[in-house]
Chain A
Amino acid sequence: MKILIIEDEPALRETIAGYFLKEGFICEAAEDFHVALEKVTLYEYDLVVLDISLPGGNGLEVLRQLKKIHPETGVLILSAKNSLDDKIMGLDLGADDYLTKPFHLPELNARVKALLRRRVFKGSPNVVFEEIEIDPMNNVMQVHAKPVELTKKEYDLLLYFITNKNRVLTKAAIAEHLWGDYMDLADNFDLVYSHIKNLRKKIMQHGGNDYIKTVYGMGYKWV
């Protein structure tokens, strides 16, 4: 899997690249408009993470050029501007997803994985982790090949954990992933905890192992 990260902020670029390297991706990076344009014209990527506000030009122009040459490449837009116009224009130009800064790295990872599942595997190979199998297209989950009834949130949570396996998921990242704008309230009510408790229970009831480990003071980890 080859991905290109177009981001002008060096610290952010390195962190994102480092994160995806750990996922086993081949990562390339571009720091400004011209380098980005050059790379998308010369090489082919499975996915491009694109920051819209770039020095030297507009990220949307890079997207336009990219879609002309390689329409099959997946694109995820990053932007500090929480602007509806940018979002609509980006999606109109063929971007697949949109993430507003500041974002959680596991969120970016989950979005990228989902995007790749849709784009690269055309359809959906099931997500498998040991005895657990998820069919993301049909929102079905099985333990030892037996279906398990999960609520929508529990299902999302499980998928989020597995796409981010071996990574620490903070409570804030989980709350934002599951509840979006209502994350504050969810955080306040300790909903993350109760959902994890229920998910754990359901998997174990069906003979699965407990893979969710608590990271003290931080969150949880799927190992």
Chain B
Amino acid sequence: MKLLDKNNRIFIRFTAALLLFGSVLFYITVNYITRSEIDEKLEVSQQRAISFIQNGQPAPQFSPIVEVQIISEKTTSTGYSDTMVYDPIEKEDESYRQLISEENINGKIYRITNRTSLLESEDLILAIGGCTSALALLLFAWMYSRSSKRMWEPFQRHLDALRQFSLAQNEPITLASSKITEFEELRTALQQLTEKVRADYRNLKEFTENASHEIQTPLAIIRSKIEYLIENEAVSGEQMATLGTVYEAANRLSRLNQSLLLLTKIENQQFGERSPVSVNTIIREQVEMLGELTDSKNLQLRTELANDLKVNANQALVEILVKNLLENAIRYSQPNDAIFIKTATENITFSNPGKAAIEQPDRLFGRFQKQNNNGTSLGLGLAIVKKICEVNGWQVGYEYREGRHEFTVIFSC
């Protein structure tokens, strides 16, 4: 539910209650005033009728407005009262206000009744009530349309700016100021929050990079000390095997660290110079370098390179992209498989045979994702591919088609 709707709902309820209470009060007040007016009028008419009779003129008769009767003795049913009188013209009972008094004039007892129709005053009350309600409704509708659009506009703008905000863009959020205190407070709070988040993010990135750098030196020491130690003739076979395990672990850690450092550097856009890079040339170079590796596993590398595909990017990053995708295809191939590399005008596809589609393709490009416990794989290759695509505005996707795993990079340039 929109805040505005909620607000309006409360407003409607409140207004309805107010209108109801107001109209009751209004009715009572107006009724009281008109009644007293009518009573006064009746009193005057009554006096006029009495003086008429006292002056010896014939008693006025104008039913049902003025009725004069001569009665034998006084009754108690006198004074103001409301009554219903049958109107022969309208053929229905109509409400009247009447004043009855009994006067002893010239030895006779006159019972004088004066009446006034209440119909007019009720119409008046209704007319006033109707007008007031209509005005209140109009006012409400105007307020609604005004508040819904103009008042919430800064809020909508803040919301849009927040949706656009991205840490990767490395730019502070820009929020337009507003005259409304609450939105101005919101703006200040949002600016402070995003600044803090950006500073934290920067610190974290710097930390990651520094930590990776700092780890390299101790790793270099560990490795070189082991390499130095194994020269020693006194090291026994068993000790040598243990050292071998330590050495392998240190190597793995070192490669892992270098890959993470690479990821961070790509993320921080530290690969500056872009130039037109021929993807086909890079593929040919990499295929040549890998020829020996694929031969040893009896893999066939088939390339179908369309017209020269050029992308505007950093040469080193395109090399890493091709290398990682190719390495991935080789790693998950069985002996005698055929690996295809195809380029088209705007994309490149690497494919290798596979028995079934990968179960969670969305996790494929995450960090430390491995499809099998393949000894030397770090599980970072595809994450690096994805990161390279992200910083260049390219798309990378996986598909399982006709018994082959297909990885496609679309260069939207």
Contacts and interface: CB of A to CB of B under 8 A. Distances in A.
Contacts of A167: 231
Interface in B111-160: none
Contact of B217 (A15, A101, A104): A101
Interface in B370-405: 374-378
Contact of B243 (A12, A101, A218): A218
Interface residues of A, number: 39
B213 A9 contact: no
Interface string B201-235: 00000000000010011011101110110110000
B376 A188 contact: yes
A43 interface: no
B290 interface: yes
A81 B323 CA distance: 22
A125 to B, nearest CB: 26
B231 A9 contact: no
Of A153, A184, A187, chain B has the most CB atoms within 10 Å of the CB of: A184
Contacts of A188: 331, 374-376
B376 A105 contact: no
A218 B375 CA distance: 17
Nearest to B261: A82
Contacts of B231: 22, 167-168
A54 B240 CA distance: 34
B296 A189 contact: yes
A182 B293 contact: yes
B221 A104 contact: no
Interface residues of B, number: 44
Interface stretch (B29-37, B178-186, B187-195, B248-256): B248-256
B341 interface: no
A7 to B, nearest CB: 10
Contact of A187 (B240, B243, B296, B376): B376
B244 A218 contact: yes
A191 B296 contact: yes
Contact of B223 (A104, A216, A217): A104
A25 interface: no
Nearest to A81: B213
B330 interface: yes
A181 B224 contact: no
Contacts of A217: 237, 240-245
Given A81-B213, A184-B255, A185-B330, A9 B243 contact: no
A12 B224 contact: yes
Contact of A184 (B221, B225, B292, B377): B377
B244 A11 contact: no
A221 B213 CA distance: 32
B293 A218 contact: no
Nearest to B216: A80
A102 B223 contact: yes
B376 A15 contact: no
A186 interface: yes
A215 interface: yes
A181 B219 contact: no
Given A168-B231, A187-B376, A188-B376, A153 B219 contact: no
B296 A103 contact: no
Nearest to A78: B220
A196 interface: no
B240 A218 contact: yes
A102 B219 contact: yes
Contact of B225 (A15, A103, A106, A218): A15
23 contacts: A9-B217, A9-B221, A18-B228, A153-B292, A168-B231, A170-B230, A170-B244, A170-B247, A172-B247, A172-B251, A182-B289, A185-B331, A188-B375, A188-B376, A189-B296, A189-B297, A191-B292, A215-B240, A216-B237, A217-B241, A217-B242, A217-B244, A218-B244
Interface of B: 213, 216-217, 219-221, 223-225, 227-228, 230-231, 237, 240-245, 247-248, 251, 254-255, 258, 261-262, 289-290, 292-293, 296-297, 316, 323, 327, 330-331, 374-378
Given A12-B221, A81-B213, 18 more contacts: A15-B221, A15-B224, A18-B228, A80-B217, A80-B220, A82-B261, A101-B216, A101-B217, A103-B224, A153-B292, A170-B230, A185-B290, A185-B376, A188-B375, A194-B296, A218-B241, A218-B243, A218-B244
